[in-house]
Structure 1
Amino acid sequence: MKLQMKLIIAFIIIVLLMGISQSVFLQSRIRATFQDYLDQHTYNFMVRMELMLEQYYEETGSWKNVQQLYFSSDSSNGNGHGMMMRGMGMNMSMSSDDILLVDLNGLVIADSSGTRIGSAGKDLSGKKVDLIVNGEKKGTLVLYQHKLKDLEIEFIHSSNTTILISGLLAALTAAIFSLFIAGKISKPLKILMTGIKQIASGEKAKEISISATGEFYELGEAFNDMARKLERNEEIRRTLVADVAHELRTPLSILQGKLESIQEGVINPSEEIILELTDEVYRLNRLVRDLQQLSLAEAGKLPLNIQPIDIYLLIERICNHLQWLADEKEIVLQYDKIPTEYFLQIDADRMTQVIVNLVGNALRHTPPQGMVEISAQPRANSFIIQVANTGQGIPEDVLPHIFDRFYKRDTSRTRDESGTGLGLSIAKGFVEAHGGFITVESETNKGTIFTIKLPLLN
C-alpha cells in the first residue's frame, strides 16, 4: 500500500474514532444531566407533596378523598387543590414517575397512575418519605421511578444521529483534505525515490530539487551530498584500480620480458640480471605492502604497538640517518636538539615511517643551499611536529590532492625516484590511526610546511 493511501485511511480512521468517542461521551453526559435534573425535580416535588399531605391530614384527620384531591390530574373541585394537582400531575407525567401514598397497614391508598390502589406497597422500590403529623407517622409517600422517559431516549437518539452524520461528513472532508496533504508529503518522496533507483541501478544520480521546506528540504540536500560523495568514491575507486594496474604492469612486464629472454637464451642469467629481477620483485612486494597498510589504516584496523617513546630522540635518529642525503644535495638539515626527554604514547615504527617520508620528501624537493627544519613541541592537549623546507613550494591546484593515492606532482621524475605515490597517503593514514591529523601549508617560491598533531595519551 502506498504512503498516500495510508495517510488517507489514517485521517479517516482518526475522524471516525473521534466521532465514536464523542458519541459515547455525549451519551453519558446526557444521561447524567437528565438524571441530575430528575433528581432535583423529584426532591422539590417530594418536599412540596410531603408538606401538603401532612397539612391535609392535620386538617382532616384522615386520608379520605386524598386520591381525588392530590393524586388525580383531572380533579375539578373548587378548593384550589385540583388546579395545583393538575400542574403537579403534568410535571409527574414529564418525568414518567409515579407518586404513591401507603397507609400504616402497608396498602396503597393513592396513586398518581391510579393502577396500584388497594395493593401492597411495602415492596415498592423508590424514594420514600414518612409523613409525620403531630409527632406520629400517618403514612409513607413513595416515588416510584421508571426507566428513562421517551423524551430523553429520543434526545439521545437524535444526538447520536447528528454525531454520525457529522462524523461521516468530517470523514469525507478528511479524505479530501488528506489527498492534498498526502500529495504534498509524497511528492518529495517520489523525487527522492527516483534518485535512489538511479543510484541502485548504477546510473549517475542527478541532483534532486525539492521545493518543500523543513525536513524534506534537508533530506534532499543530504541525498545530494550523499550522491556527490558516492560519485567521488566511485571515481577514486576507478582511479585506484587503474593506478594499481599501472604500477603493477611495469615491474611485471620487466619480469616477464627478462624471464622469457632467459628462457629463449637471448640473455644469460648473470648476477646483474638476477639483481634487476630481484629489485622488481621487491618493488612489487613494497607496493602490495603499502596498499595493505593503507587499506588497514583507512578501515581503522591498523594494528599499533603503542609504547612510551622519547620523541626528540626518535627525530634525532631519523635526521642522523638522512644526513647523508642532505650533505649530498648541500642542504642544511636542522632539528631541535633538546637534552631533556619527552615521551609520547605512539607506535615507534609507524611514526618513524611517517617522519622519514616527510623529511625525505622535503629533502628531495629542496634546492641546493636550501634548508629543511624539523620542530617538535607540546601544546595544550596535543603534540605538534612540523617539517618545513625552502623551495618552490606546492602549487595551489595541487594542494587538495597531495594526500591522494598514487598522486605524483612531478611526472618528469624517473620511476626509481618517484616511488609508488603512496607515501603521503600512508603517512596520513598512520597519523589518523594515532588519533591525530596531518595538514600542509605551502607558498609559491617560499616553501612548504607539513604539520602533524598528535593527542597526548595518558
Structure 2
Amino acid sequence: MNMRRQPRFDLSRHLTLAMAMVAVGTVVFSFLAFYVAYTVAIHIAPQLFPPDYSALPSGWDLAIMGVVTAMGIALSGWLGLRISRCIVLPMHEVARAARAIADGDLSARANPVLEAPGETAMLVADFNTMAARLEKGAHNAISWNAQIAHELRTPLTILKGRLQGVSDGVFAMDEALLRGLLSQVDGLARLVEDLRCVSLADIGRLELRLTDVDLTQELAEWAALMQPTLTKAQFGLHVSCPPVIARLDAGRLRQALLALLDNALHYAHPCTLRLEAALGPNGLEIALGDQGPGVPEAQVEALFEVFSRGASAQNTHRTGSGLGLAVVQAIASAHGGKAAYHRDGTQSRFLLLLPQPALVSTFVPTGENLP
C-alpha cells in the first residue's frame, strides 16, 4: 500500500486563525492605547477633565470592547476563509496533480480556480505547462526507443544473416558480398550520426566549427561528389550560386544537403534537382527544389519533426528513417536559422535559412551557374 504523509498543518485553518488573532490584537491594542493616552492626559492636564473622571474602563466600555472584538474576529475569520480559499484551493489542485503524476499518470493536470489571484493562477498554469512537457518528453522517449529499434532491426538482421551464411558456408565472401555488408554498415553509421545530431540539437549541445566558406566552391564540390548517386537514380542536379563567402560549418552543411538530397531521391519523381543559394533579407538562403509530387498539406506542419513520415511513405517502398529533415532542422537551428518548405505549383523547395551577421559577400553583377 502506498502510504502518504499527512500534511503537518492546514494552511487554511492557520491563515484564518492568524487573521482572527490579528483582529483581537488590534482591538485590544486600540483600547489599551486609548486608556493609556487618557491616563497620561489626566496627569498632565487634569483641568481638562471633570473632577470625578476616571480613565479606567467602565462596564459599558468593556461590553463595547467585547462586541467590537467579536465583530472583528468574525470579520477577520470570514476574510481569512475567503483569502485562504483563493490561495489554498490552487495549491491543493497542484498537489493533487503532482501526486497523480508521481503515481505514473502523466496526463494529470491541475484544474484552474476562478477565484485564484494572479500569482496562484500563474502557478497552476506553469505547473500544467511543465506537466504537458513532461508527458510529451516521456511520450517522445518511448517513441524514440521504438523507432530506433525498428530502424536498427533491418540492417542488423541483414548483417547477421549474411555473416551467419558465410560462417555456415552458404555464402562466399566475395567482393559483391563485402560491398553489400559495407553498405549496411554505412547505413548504420549514418543512422547513428543522425540520431546523435538530433539528440545534441534537442538539448542545445550541437557544436559547430564555423569557418569562412567559399559557398560556390563548396556546393560545386558537393555536387560532383553526389553525381554518381544522382545518375544511378536517374536524377540530374543544377547548381546556382553567386560568389559569396559565408560563415558556417561546412561539414554540417554537407550533412544537411545530403539529407535533403536523400529525401528527394526517396520521394520526388526523377527530374533535374535545382540547388540554389542566394542572399535574402534575413541572411543566406540555400534551397533544393524538385518537380514533385510535393508534401501533402496535412504533413507540412510536422515535416521537420523527428521520425515524421507520411502514411504514403509508410505504406510504399519508402525506406527512410524519418530523421533526414529533422537533421536539416537541427543543423539550421544550430546556425541560428531554420528549415522551411514551400511549394510553388508542382515544384517543391526545401530551404535552409541561415542568418549571416558576419557574412562577407563577393557578389558580381552576374552570377554563375554551375553545371
How big is the shift at 1:28?
4.4
**In structure 2, how many angstroms separate the alpha carbons of the residues matched to 1:434 and 1:164?**
74
Q: Distance in 2 between matches of 1:204 and 1:401?
A: 23
In the aligned structure 1, how far is the partner of 2:228 from the partner of 2:93?
Answer: 63
Cα displacement string for residues 59-106 of structure 1 (whole angstroms, at most 9, x for unaligned residues): xxxxxxxxxxxxxxxxxxxxxxxxxxxxxxxx7xx2xxxxxxxxxxxx
Hey, what's the Cα distance between the residues in 2 that align with 1:323 and 1:269?
29
Q: In structure 2, the residue corresponding to 1:152 is in which secondary structure?
A: coil
Task: Report how far residue 278 of structure 1 moved.
Answer: 3.3
Q: Which has the higher contact order (CA 8 A, sep 6+)?
A: 2
- Whichever residue aligns with residue 300 of structure 1, its letter is G
Are 2:162 and 1:258 equivalent residues in the alignment? yes
Decide which of 415, 431, 434 is 2:335's aligned counterpart: 434
For 1:368 and 1:310, how far apart are their aligned partners in 2?
Answer: 30
Q: Secondary structure at the match of 1:305?
A: coil
Residue 245 of structure 1: how far off its partner (Å) = 0.8
Q: Which amino acid aligns with 1:398?
A: Q
Unpaired runs of 5+ residues, structure 1, are 42-90, 95-149
Q: 1:38 to 1:387 in 2, by over 3 A?
A: farther
339, 348, 353: which one pairs with 1:453? 353
Paired residue for 1:398?
299
Deviation at 1:242, TM superposition (A): 0.6
Q: CA deviation at 1:175?
A: 2.5
Work out which of the residue numbers 191, 202, 208 in structure 2 matches 1:287: 191
Partner of 1:343: 246
Q: 1:179/1:34 Cα in 2 relative to 1: closer, same or farther (>3 Å)?
A: same
Q: Is the 8 A contact 1:372 1:390 kept in 2?
A: no
Shift of 1:446: 1.9
Matches within 5 A, 1:212-231: 212-213=114-115, 215=118, 216-231=120-135
**In the aligned structure 1, how far is the partner of 2:236 from the partner of 2:221?**
16
2:211 pairs, out of 303, 307, 327, with 307
Q: Secondary structure at the match of 1:167?
A: helix
Question: Could you tell me which amino acid in structure 1 is paired with residue 349 of structure 2?
Answer: I
The 2-side partners of 1:450 and 1:432 are apart by 15
Structure 1 residue 191, shift from structure 2 partner: 2.9
Give the direction of change, closer, same or farther, for the CA distance of 1:413–1:320 in structure 2 (3 Å limit).
farther
User: How far apart in 1 are the matches of 2:155 and 2:272?
Assistant: 35
Change (3 A) 1:330 1:246: closer
| Counterpart Cα distance in 1 of 2:190 and 2:271 | 32
Instruction: Give the secondary-structure state (helix, strand or coil) at the position aligned to 2:314.
Output: coil
Aligned pair partner of 2:24 in 11, 16, 34: 16
Match of 2:142 among 217, 238, 248: 238
TM-score with structure 1 length normalisation?
Answer: 0.65
TM (norm. structure 2) is 0.78
Quickly say closer, same or farther: Cα 1:221–1:324, change in 2 above 3 A: same
Q: Does the Cα contact within 8 Å between 1:333 and 1:372 map onto a contact in 2?
A: yes
2 CA distance for matches of 1:242 and 1:39?
96
Q: Which ranges in structure 2 are unaligned for 5 or more consecutive residues?
A: 1-8, 359-371
Letter in 2 for 1:343: A
Report the CA distance shift for 1:163/1:316 in structure 2 as closer, same or farther (over 3 A): farther
Structure 2 vs 1, CA of residues 395 and 252 (structure 1 numbering), >3 Å: closer, same or farther? Answer: same
Distance between the aligned counterparts of 2:286 and 2:253, measured in 1? Answer: 11
For 1:401, what is the secondary structure of its paired residue? coil
1:392–1:313 Cα change, 3 Å: same
Cα distance, 1:151 vs. partner? 3.4
Report if aligned partners of 1:306, 1:347 keep a CA contact under 8 Å in 2.
yes
Native 8 Å contact 1:30 1:156 kept in 2: no
Match of 1:298 in 2: 202
| 1:39–1:450 CA distance, 2 compared to 1 (3 A) | farther
Please show how residues 32-431 of structure 1 align to structure 2 within 5 Å.
32-35=40-43, 37-38=45-46, 94=51, 151-155=53-57, 162-163=64-65, 166-213=68-115, 215=118, 216-324=120-228, 333-339=237-243, 341-344=244-247, 346-362=248-264, 364-369=266-271, 371-379=273-281, 382-409=283-310, 410-411=313-314, 414=317, 418-431=319-332
Match of 1:103 in 2: none
1: CA distance, partners of 2:172 / 2:351? 50
Matched to 2:202, the amino acid is E
1:334, CA displacement in angstroms?
3.7
Corresponding residue SS for 1:411: helix
Which protein shows a greater Rg?
Answer: 1
Match of 2:365 in 1: none
Q: Secondary structure at the match of 1:281?
A: helix
CA contact (8 A) 1:440 1:451 kept: yes
Q: Structure 1 pair 275/370, CA: closer, same or farther in 2 (3 Å)?
A: closer
Checking the alignment, whether the CA contact within 8 Å between 1:12 and 1:175 is kept in structure 2 is yes
Whole-angstrom distance in 1 between the partners of 2:48 and 2:88: 58
Q: 1:442 to 1:234 in 2, by over 3 A?
A: farther
Distance 1:379 1:154 in 2: 86
Structure 1 residue 431, shift from structure 2 partner:
1.4
Separation in 2, partners of 1:325, 1:160: 102
- Residues 434 and 157 of structure 1, relative CA distance in 2, 3 Å threshold: farther
Aligned length: 346
